[in-house]
Structure 1
Amino acid sequence: MARYETSFIVFYDGTCELCQRTKYLLKKWDTHKRLTFQPIQDPSVMNDYPFLKKEQLQKEMHLLESHTYVYTGYAAVKRIMKLLPMTKIVTPILCIPGTNWLGRFLYQRVASNRYQLSGNACRNGGCQINRSSFDRNS
């Protein structure tokens, strides 16, 4: 197995069952063990990565590459898909004109409704989205 120098940290909503299932699948597909996962509810996140914004982390998944570049939302999904052998084969489809717009649109719909899509996913009131922080124009 090849040794990879680039590190990738996925920041995800640890109170969201849909997010947890996605994490499980990504870990399973990450045969080269390139991804590490960090729930945004972990207090160390804001201390260790002060350049990340809590409100943005609550809105969408973030992917930190080599402690220098941050991908958010659909861009993070695309980058992860390019990394994993299982999903890498479908990445040429992402280059078709219009797929970025559609991907961002679908990602935002899923992200903003992730608790409803998870079914009975909210436990202990910990998964309340700060709706006032959403910018509908972005």
Structure 2
Amino acid sequence: MRQLTVYFDGWCPLCQKSKWFLERLDRFDQLTFIDARRVQTFEQPLLLERMHVETTQGVRHAGIHGIRLLTKTLLVLRPVDPFVSLSIRLGIGAVIYDKVAKNRVIPVSCTTDCRIN
């Protein structure tokens, strides 16, 4: 039963490793992953700034709040939830998450129709 949709940056090595890690922890098939680079919508730039986690009701949680939703949903991550929640309450969770997100390295990548003019 898929409960959450996780939007990630498919060009980002850190995001790919995070996806791989979450896939291994998802023992009950609760997560669906979508590469935000393949989403053709006006929201794409926003989706690429931070990981977004969307509920079945269509509510999206970005960054550290998405991480918190994952720690509440995945049984194996529940012991970490109090620390993530505390980091949010103290105001440092978002700061740390955003610092990592802004400093991640995305190698140059092309699609099959990439052309140099």
Same fold (TM over 0.5): yes
Q: Give the deviation of 1:93 after TM superposition.
A: 2.4
Match in the other structure for 2:45:
55
Q: Distance in 2 between matches of 1:28 and 1:74?
A: 20
Q: Give the alignment of 1:76-95 within 5 angstroms.
A: 76-95=66-85
Please list every run of 5 or more consecutive structure 2 residues that lacks an aligned counterpart in the other structure: 112-117
Contact preservation (8 Å) 1:7, 1:67: no
Contact preservation (8 Å) 2:68, 2:85: no
Match in the other structure for 1:102:
92
Post-superposition Cα deviations, 1:22-59, rounded to whole Å, max 9, x if no partner, equal 000000001111001000111xx23xxx5x71221121
Q: Distance in 2 between matches of 1:32 and 1:108?
A: 29
1:123 is aligned with what amino acid?
V
2:33 is aligned with what amino acid?
F
Match in the other structure for 1:112:
102
Match in the other structure for 1:40:
36
Q: Distance in 1 between matches of 2:37 and 2:58?
A: 22
Match in the other structure for 1:19:
15
For 1:66, which of 47, 56, 64 is the aligned residue? 56
Equivalent residue of 1:89, what SS?
A: helix
Q: Distance in 1 between matches of 2:48 and 2:69?
A: 20
Match in the other structure for 1:136:
none
Q: Give the deviation of 1:91 after TM superposition.
A: 1.0
**More deviation, 60-69/33-42:** 60-69
Higher RCO (CA-CA < 8 Å; seq separation 6+): 1
Q: Distance in 1 between matches of 2:71 and 2:63?
A: 13
How many residue pairs match? The answer is 109
Please list every run of 5 or more consecutive structure 1 residues that lacks an aligned counterpart in the other structure: 116-120, 127-138
**Pairing 1:122–2:107 present:** yes
Equivalent residue of 2:19, what SS?
A: helix
Q: Give the deviation of 1:67 after TM superposition.
A: 4.1
